[in-house]
Copies of this chain bind each other. A is one copy, B any other.
Amino acid sequence: MTSSRVWKLGADVDTDALAPGAYMKNGIDVISQHCLEALRPDFASAVRPGDVLVAGPNFGIGSSREQAAGALVHLGVRAVVAPSFSGLFFRNAFNLGLLLLTCPDAEQLHEDEIITLSPAGVHRADGQVLSCQPIPDFLMDMVHAGGLMNVLKQRSQGTRHA
């Protein structure tokens, strides 16, 4: 398991914070540079591949725009850990290969804390494990493949079987 650094956010982080409306005519490169700038102006420039977002309830509410998840994938975010997610965001995120962990105790985690993720949950440096709702295999397949389209491509090429 690889360790990850935590970026801590509050509740109700919406899709406009993740993919600001003003930049939606641009490509994902530009949108990503403005990801979360209203909440954390340093985010896009300081986030490192493998970092994890930890947030309060209702992460990803707002619109159905897929770029909200796409910007996090583009920036290399490994996962988002929160007590609850918007249903549309949850669907879009896994389709793009972004792991979301539903963790009732997510808000116990701190900014800059180093954690590791496993199927059992979130492991803290002191040995504590915050349990998360298990993710079904078909969704983990999407995460490992880098998204639904890659799963479908692999299946059509016969490199994996349904």
Contacts and interface: CB of A to CB of B under 8 A. Distances in A.
Interface of A: 57-58, 61-64, 84-91, 94, 100, 102, 133-136, 139
Contacts of A87: 84-87, 89-91, 100, 102
Nearest to A93: B87
B88 A86 contact: no
A75 B84 CA distance: 27
A64 B136 contact: yes
A77 B103 CA distance: 29
Contacts of A94: 91
Copies in the complex: 2
Contact of A90 (B91, B133, B135): B91
14 contacts: A57-B84, A58-B84, A61-B133, A62-B133, A64-B134, A84-B84, A84-B86, A84-B87, A85-B87, A87-B90, A87-B91, A87-B102, A88-B136, A91-B139
Contact of A88 (B58, B89, B90): B90
A13 to B, nearest CB: 14
A156 B85 CA distance: 33
Given A64-B133, A64-B134, A88-B139, 20 more contacts: A57-B84, A58-B84, A62-B133, A63-B133, A63-B134, A64-B136, A84-B84, A84-B86, A85-B87, A86-B87, A86-B102, A86-B133, A87-B90, A87-B102, A88-B90, A88-B102, A88-B133, A88-B136, A90-B91, A91-B139
Nearest to A87: B90
A89 to B, nearest CB: 8
